[in-house]
Amino acid sequence: MIVSLEWLKDYTDIKVSPEEFCDRMIMSGSNLETLELVGRDFKNVVVGKIEKIEKHPDADKLVVCQLNIGQADFVQIVTGATNVFEGALVPVALHNSVIPGPLHGKTKEEGGTKITKGKLRGVESYGMLCSFGELGFEDKVVPVNQKDGIWILEGEYTLGMDFSDALGLKDEIIDFEITPNRPDCLSMIGMAREAGATFGTELKYPNTKCEKEEGSAEEFLSVEIKSDLCKRYVGRVVRDVKVRQSPWWLQKRLIHAGMRPINNIVDITNYVMLEYGQPLHAFDIEALKDHKIVVSQADKGEVFTTLDGSERQLDENMLMIHDSEKSVAVAGVMGGLNSEITENTTTIVIESANFEANSVRTTAKKLGLRTEASSRYEKGIDPNLCQAAADRVCYLIELLGAGTVVGNRVDVYPNVISAKSVNARVSRINKVLGISLDRDQMVKYLESLEMKVEGTADDLIVTPPTVRQDIEIEEDIVEEIARLYGYDKLPVTIPKGNNEAGQSPDRDLKDLAKDTLTGIGLNEIQTYSFVSPKSVDNVRIEEDSWERAFVKILNPLGEDTSVMRTILMPQMLEVMGRNYSRNLAEMKAFEIGNTFMENVLNPQELPMESYNLSIGMYGQGVDFFTLKGVVITLLNKLGIEDLEFVPETEYGTYHPGRCGRIVAKHIAHLENGDREEEVELGIMGEIHPEVSEKYGIGIRCYGCELMFDNIFELADTTKAYRPLPKYPAMTRDIALLCDESMTVAEIEKVIKASDNTILRDVRLFDIYRSSQIGEGKKSMAFSLTYRHNDRTLTEDDVQKAHSLVLENLKEKLGVSLREL
Amino acid sequence: MQEILKGILEETKEQIEKVVSLPELEEIRIKVMGKKGQLTEILKGMGKLSPEDRKEMGRIANQTKGEIEAAINNAFKALKEKAQEAKLRAEKIDITEPAKEIKLGTKHPLTVTMEEIAKVFKSMGFTLTEGPEIETVFNNFDALNAGPNHPARDWTDTFYVNEEVLLRTQTSPVQVRTLQSQKPPIRVFAPGRCFRCDTPDATHSPMFHQVEGLVVDEGITMADLKGVLDSFAKQMFGEETKTKFRPHHFPFTEPSAEMDVSCFKCGGKGCRVCKGSGWIEILGCGMVHPSVLNVGGIDTEKYTGFAFGMGVERVAMLKYGIDDIRLLYENDMRFIEQFK
């Protein structure tokens, strides 16, 4: 709500500085957007009268004006403006003046533009005649008749007077942020009520009583409400209307409120709307067939032309103002072109009505037409304002001599809203706020807001004015007391009671995973929870697979963010692609985030959400085994040690020869005893070249996606001490000649199965290929560690176990020792 | 013979003094004490002496041998030390050459900010709790007192999955879940992702993070709310931070407030960060609205509570001076690595 302090002073006394006014209003609940001091940004600009206009000797488009600025000598100014005439009063920026600009299409300068004397085509010019724009006014507030050319003043002014003083332009304009619960503050009176309560000053309502009224409105107008979306309709009638410019004081207030002056009737309705917060509309009564107003919903498919000349498609939920046969306005949004006030209008109907907030909101939204009126209606307006606002319009019309007011009003108000009381308790208010305020002080605060307070002792029976639709329960009263007492004066305490802080174990694990991965050099990324449905195509996910069971957003911003992600890998690839395209030679990153899936089994329940962890990396020296190392380190840290990497050739995202499923073995404690189980934790591999190409990654890259929910299940971060080995170990190195297709895992499995008494560790330390050992063959060297827990090993112990290992290898896999 | 021995001793000592390398020293040792060395030859010739002379000469010869050995050993030690010294000198490196890179990873700045916030609230006895990102319309709006006509429910503001399910627009539904599942005393905070239909630009993102807080107990007052949040601000932004609570409006709190903190860039004098006001708006808060407590079946006469919520992106952007929210979701490694 834009508030001119000069204007606000009409309704309540303000004795403090604008800054203090703002500070205290903020603390009582009217938050400040901006405070602007206006009318101070031009210097040495005065009121002048054009005494004489002559042609410029050397330029067709320029004229030479002699300006009377109240001094003996005239000031000569050359101008190119075409709307000047002899006798016109104009703003004159003298030699060495400053105007805010913008000047001649140039952008507005910080600190304004300096005007000095100069020659225009050889003729001396001692300053400049100014337009609204050059004096710093925005286009949208410049009065219709002043849009082009120099500002021509209407009325009497002292020549040579400081322009800002002469027109009363110095003002403080405050833009208050009004929260949705306080539509009553979208009005000067509402803000004056707040100011009165904040500073303890009296609220003065504006005059609404006309001096002279003739006849009765019912003789001219009948009103019928046919929809409950209209709660009240007040119509008043004014005859002998003279449509012309408004006086400057009225124009100025509208301009300072950010509105454009149009003509006296429109300006008055806008002015009263700003005063009361009640939108008003004026119809030409001759445009209303049978002088009848019918408020009802639109016909389906109806097309209507609004004041701005646009054709609007209506639907049956939109509330319209009709006469006896046609639509004349979209209720609460905009009038129709067919009933607009023109220069020929003589009798008008002033509409001051109340329309249901939500109906106006949806209508305005559907029509894409948000107006000053609709934005007020949609927040909710007190129907009890209708009459006063209509009367105020009539008063101002009479005051400005703009017409003859017809007596009485047509007022259709089916369900009168009356003030409702709210019960509150002094003790409860103090208890919630942590203070001990006495009843009298509370009553004083409430009464300063025009609330009536009854009851005795602890009981406060509070009746707020009907404009305060937000006051419904005791807590609302608590807030009123708190804000007028001052939030800053409330004590600062720490709540009693001792709570044990904590977090869930799965959150602990997520934190631990982040710490571990960053500790070994991976960066964390965060990407949107929604993705394009095409993302799964890009990573070559098969049709009908679970990764395509998307939760779809009905109203996405665009296709790219239209479904909830089921996996994290597409976004990891996108980030890798982005970094690669920005010439980052290497990248190692991870993301831990929610993934979503349709709840196919229980569609009435919320979709399933689970945490996934993705890893992505590329760069020099990075290969499959770099990633494998990261995965193992992470899982080991989370207490998952027994891992198997099972080759996977069918998952489209990955290179078929360089991909594996990550399987953990663990002992499940079941009712009928323990059982070893295998749990798949995720998948990893080199990204398929087609996929990396899609994401613009021109280098081999690697990815992994883990299902965190499965990790939660298996993770065990409890630590226990195991005694250090007391007896020395013996190692035996063996080199095995085998086919290229033989895997390390196969050999390890056989070796480990051979002995479970003294074999402690099996470790591959070399793979060797050469023509010497033959095509399609390789030699794998393992180091086997033997140790007895209870005594020193003998050569014999080791020999026995070791030969069994070799025997098994030969028997089960057909591999034998390579002669070294 | 005695003279000869003396001669050998002196000559050898003289030679040892001149020695500059280990091989030279070895040469001398062999010359004197080797199998065919001077001293060895003499000792061999001792057999010809009388037993008395042999005894006497033996003593002298051994003494000479000892002295020569000692001299050689000393020389050996000295030469070795010298050699070591020379070697070390030769191995001098330019310690100003660049270090071998050991790369630590970096957490995302939003995680870093969230962890800082979490640390503060945990220190005040708050338990971290979480809720789903896809929520019911009821939990996100109705239960939080935002009725059917609340503008935030519009399709232009909120992402819907169906008529009853949406992407949560705030972390406040965690309040509802907590009130439905726990009995007072309640002291929780809930970080998480939220979604609103905002087209991305420098200050808007369709996805963002919030941290929600909720305290419900007997005798909780608005003064307690001020105490907790003032303490949070001081721990988060520095001991000298001041707070200002302004009246505001939220459907699920009454009374409601917004908390400003004194600008941590300029200390309150006014700068670009605080747009000259000296204050920065950080969070919304208030006393829990009774209709919200009612959703959890909590006796509003007995219990009161307060709640608060803040935007993590906003805090991170202010704290680190990030001027475009989109940077947070671009994940350029050069950006992320700035938050080591």
- Measured distance CA(A248)–CA(A254) in Å, rounded: 10
Nearest CA in chain B to A503: B128
What's the pLDDT tens digit per position in A508-520?
A: 899 999 999 999 9
Give the gap in angstroms from C-alpha B248 to the nearest C-alpha of chain A: 6
Q: Which residues from B are below 8 Å from A496, CB to CB?
A: 217, 219
Residues sharing a CB contact under 8 Å with residue A127, sequence separation 6 or more, in sequence order: A67, A75, A77, A92, A93, A94, A95, A97, A115, A117
Cβ atoms of A613 and A525 within 8 Å: the answer is no
Higher-pLDDT residue of A501, A813: A813
What's the pLDDT tens digit per position in B177-195?
A: 999 999 999 999 999 999 9
Give the gap in angstroms from C-alpha A482 to the nearest C-alpha of chain B: 8
Predicted confidence (pLDDT) at residue A155 exceeds the cutoff of 90: no
Report the pLDDT value the prediction gives residue A450, as an integer from 0 to 100: 95
Report the pLDDT value the prediction gives residue B2, as an integer from 0 to 100: 77
Asked if B304 lies within 8 A of A357 by C-beta distance, the reply is no
Predicted confidence (pLDDT) at residue A105 exceeds the cutoff of 80: no
Q: Which residues from B are below 8 Å from A358, CB to CB?
A: 149
Report the pLDDT value the prediction gives residue A602, as an integer from 0 to 100: 85
Is cis: bond before A491, omega within 30 of 0?
no
Grade residue B20 by pLDDT with cuts at 50, 70 and 90.
Answer: confident
Q: Which residues from A are below 8 Å from B254, CB to CB?
A: 473, 475-476, 478-479
- Cα distances from A513 to residues A413, A638, A680, B113, in angstroms, run 66, 7, 18, 17
Task: Measure CB to CB from residue A507 to each of B128, B133, B333 and give the nearest one.
Answer: B128
Predicted confidence (pLDDT) at residue A379 exceeds the cutoff of 60: yes
Report the pLDDT value the prediction gives residue A774, as an integer from 0 to 100: 84
Superfamily of domain A43-169: Nucleic acid-binding proteins (2.40.50.140)
Q: Which residues of B154-191 are buried (b: 16+ CB within 10 A; e: fewer)?
A: eeeebbbbeeebbbbbbbbbbbbbbbeebebbbbbbbb
Asked if A494 lies within 8 A of B257 by C-beta distance, the reply is no
- Measured distance CA(A494)–CA(B187) in Å, rounded: 13
Residue matched to tokens 């129907």: A383
Put simply, the chain B residues between 4 and 63 with a CB less than 8 A from any chain A CB are: none
B219 touches chain A (CB under 8 A): yes
Report the pLDDT value the prediction gives residue A222, as an integer from 0 to 100: 93
Give the gap in angstroms from C-alpha A67 to the nearest C-alpha of chain B: 42
What's the pLDDT tens digit per position in B100-123?
A: 888 899 999 999 999 999 999 999
Cβ atoms of A509 and A712 within 8 Å: the answer is yes
- Measured distance CA(A760)–CA(A685) in Å, rounded: 30
Domain A505-714 sits in CATH at 3.30.930.10
Asked if A490 lies within 8 A of B223 by C-beta distance, the reply is yes
The residue count of chain A comes to: 820
Tokens of A483: 């804000």
Asked if B226 lies within 8 A of A500 by C-beta distance, the reply is no
Give the gap in angstroms from C-alpha B202 to the nearest C-alpha of chain A: 16
Tokens of A71: 């001094």
Asked if A473 lies within 8 A of B290 by C-beta distance, the reply is yes
Domain A422-486 sits in CATH at 3.30.56.10
Asked if B111 lies within 8 A of A524 by C-beta distance, the reply is yes
Report the pLDDT value the prediction gives residue A242, as an integer from 0 to 100: 92
Arithmetic mean of pLDDT over chain A? 92
Grade residue A40 by pLDDT with cuts at 50, 70 and 90.
Answer: confident
Give the gap in angstroms from C-alpha B240 to the nearest C-alpha of chain A: 16
What stretch(es) of chain A map to CATH 3.30.930.10?
505-714
DSSP string, A704-750: EEEEHHHHHHH--------PPP-S--EEEEEEEEEETT--HHHHHHH
What stretch(es) of chain A map to CATH 3.30.56.10?
2-39+172-199, 422-486
Tokens of A794: 């003998």
Give the gap in angstroms from C-alpha B113 to the nearest C-alpha of chain A: 13
Mean pLDDT of B203-217: 95
Give the gap in angstroms from C-alpha B247 to the nearest C-alpha of chain A: 5
What's the pLDDT tens digit per position in A700-754?
A: 999 999 999 899 989 988 888 888 889 999 999 999 998 999 999 999 999 999 9
Q: Which residues from A are below 8 Å from B289, CB to CB?
A: 475
Q: Where are the domains of chain B?
A: 2-90, 109-339
Asked if B206 lies within 8 A of A490 by C-beta distance, the reply is no
Predicted confidence (pLDDT) at residue A107 exceeds the cutoff of 80: no
Q: State the helix-helix crossing angle for A439-448 and A474-485, rounded to 10 degrees.
A: 90
What's the pLDDT tens digit per position in B46-77?
A: 777 788 888 888 888 888 888 888 888 888 89
The separation between CA A441 and the C-alpha centre of its own chain, rounded to angstroms, equals 39
Grade residue A119 by pLDDT with cuts at 50, 70 and 90.
Answer: confident
Q: Which residues from B are below 8 Å from A495, CB to CB?
A: 187, 215, 217, 220, 224, 227-228
Nearest CA in chain B to A358: B149
Q: Is A215 exposed, middle or buried (0-12, 13-18, 19+ CB in 10 A)?
A: middle
Strand order across the beta sheet in which A222-225 lies: A222-225, A292-297, A319-322, A327-330, A334-335
Predicted confidence (pLDDT) at residue A106 exceeds the cutoff of 80: no
Q: Is A249 helix (H, G, I), strand (E, B) or coil?
A: helix
Report the pLDDT value the prediction gives residue A685, as an integer from 0 to 100: 96
Report the pLDDT value the prediction gives residue A441, as an integer from 0 to 100: 95
Which of B78, B70, B56 shows the shortest CA–CA distance to B1? B56
- Measured distance CA(A136)–CA(B31) in Å, rounded: 111
What's the pLDDT tens digit per position in A582-614?
A: 999 999 999 999 999 998 888 888 999 999 999
What's the pLDDT tens digit per position in A609-664?
A: 999 999 999 999 999 999 999 999 999 999 999 999 999 999 999 999 999 999 99
Nearest CA in chain B to A598: B161
Grade residue A104 by pLDDT with cuts at 50, 70 and 90.
Answer: low
Report the pLDDT value the prediction gives residue A26, as an integer from 0 to 100: 94
Higher-pLDDT residue of B64, B253: B253
What's the pLDDT tens digit per position in B143-176?
A: 999 988 888 898 889 999 999 999 999 999 999 9
Which of A738, A512, A550, A466 shows the shortest CA–CA distance to A639? A512
- Cα distances from A815 to residues A803, A805, B293, in angstroms, run 13, 11, 73
Asked if A523 lies within 8 A of B227 by C-beta distance, the reply is no
Grade residue A97 by pLDDT with cuts at 50, 70 and 90.
Answer: confident
Tokens of B192: 């998480």
Predicted confidence (pLDDT) at residue A103 exceeds the cutoff of 80: no
Give the gap in angstroms from C-alpha B311 to the nearest C-alpha of chain A: 16
Asked if B228 lies within 8 A of A488 by C-beta distance, the reply is no
C-beta atoms surrounding A200 within 10 Å: 12
Tell which phi-psi region holds residue A259, choosing left (phi > 0), alpha (psi between -120 and 50) or beta.
Answer: beta
Task: Measure CB to CB from residue B104 to each of A521, A551, A578 and give the nearest one.
Answer: A521
* Segment (H or E) for A429: helix A426-433
Q: Which residues from A are below 8 Å from B337, CB to CB?
A: 523
Rounded to two decimals, the pTM is 0.85
Q: Which residues from A are below 8 Å from B248, CB to CB?
A: 29, 31, 179
Put simply, the chain B residues between 275 and 334 with a CB less than 8 A from any chain A CB are: 287, 289-290, 304, 328-334
Q: Which residues from B are below 8 Å from A433, CB to CB?
A: 221-223
Grade residue A681 by pLDDT with cuts at 50, 70 and 90.
Answer: very high
- Measured distance CA(A291)–CA(A182) in Å, rounded: 36
Asked if B248 lies within 8 A of A31 by C-beta distance, the reply is yes
Biggest CA–CA distance in chain B, Å, is 133
B271 touches chain A (CB under 8 A): no
Q: Is A187 exposed, middle or buried (0-12, 13-18, 19+ CB in 10 A)?
A: buried
Asked if B329 lies within 8 A of A528 by C-beta distance, the reply is yes
Query: What is the distance between the terminal CA atoms of chain B, rounded to a whole angstrom?
Result: 82
Give the gap in angstroms from C-alpha B96 to the nearest C-alpha of chain A: 25
Q: Which residues from A are below 8 Å from B256, CB to CB?
A: 479
Predicted confidence (pLDDT) at residue A110 exceeds the cutoff of 80: no
Predicted confidence (pLDDT) at residue A489 exceeds the cutoff of 90: yes
List beta partners, residue A410: A235
Domain A2-39+172-199 is found in CATH 3.40.50.620: no
Report the pLDDT value the prediction gives residue B128, as an integer from 0 to 100: 94
- Measured distance CA(A178)–CA(A796) in Å, rounded: 91
Query: What is the distance between the terminal CA atoms of chain A, rounded to a whole angstrom?
Result: 92
Report the pLDDT value the prediction gives residue B271, as an integer from 0 to 100: 85
Is cis: bond before A464, omega within 30 of 0?
no
Which of A259, A265, A515, A227 shows the shortest CA–CA distance to A354? A227
Mean pLDDT of B305-331: 93
Tokens of A443: 């009553």
Domain A214-412 is found in CATH 3.50.40.10: yes
B107 touches chain A (CB under 8 A): yes
Q: How many CB pairs under 8 A join A and B?
A: 235
B88 touches chain A (CB under 8 A): no
Q: Please, what is the Cα angle at A766 between A761 and A767, to 5 degrees?
A: 125
* Segment (H or E) for A440: helix A439-448
Predicted confidence (pLDDT) at residue B270 exceeds the cutoff of 90: no
Report the pLDDT value the prediction gives residue A819, as an integer from 0 to 100: 67
Report the pLDDT value the prediction gives residue A787, as an integer from 0 to 100: 93
The domain defined by B109-339 folds into: BirA Bifunctional Protein; domain 2 (3.30.930)
Domain A730-817 is found in CATH 3.90.1150.10: no
Asked if A518 lies within 8 A of B167 by C-beta distance, the reply is no
Asked if B127 lies within 8 A of A520 by C-beta distance, the reply is no
Give the gap in angstroms from C-alpha B108 to the nearest C-alpha of chain A: 5
Report the pLDDT value the prediction gives residue A397, as an integer from 0 to 100: 96
Alpha helical stretches, state H, A542-593:
569-581
Grade residue A466 by pLDDT with cuts at 50, 70 and 90.
Answer: very high
Residues sharing a CB contact under 8 Å with residue B67, sequence separation 6 or more, in sequence order: B9, B13
Percent pLDDT > 70 in chain A is: 98
- Give the DSSP letter of residue A524: E
Tokens of B340: 């080591």
Asked if B223 lies within 8 A of A487 by C-beta distance, the reply is no
Nearest CA in chain A to B226: A492
Predicted confidence (pLDDT) at residue A786 exceeds the cutoff of 80: yes
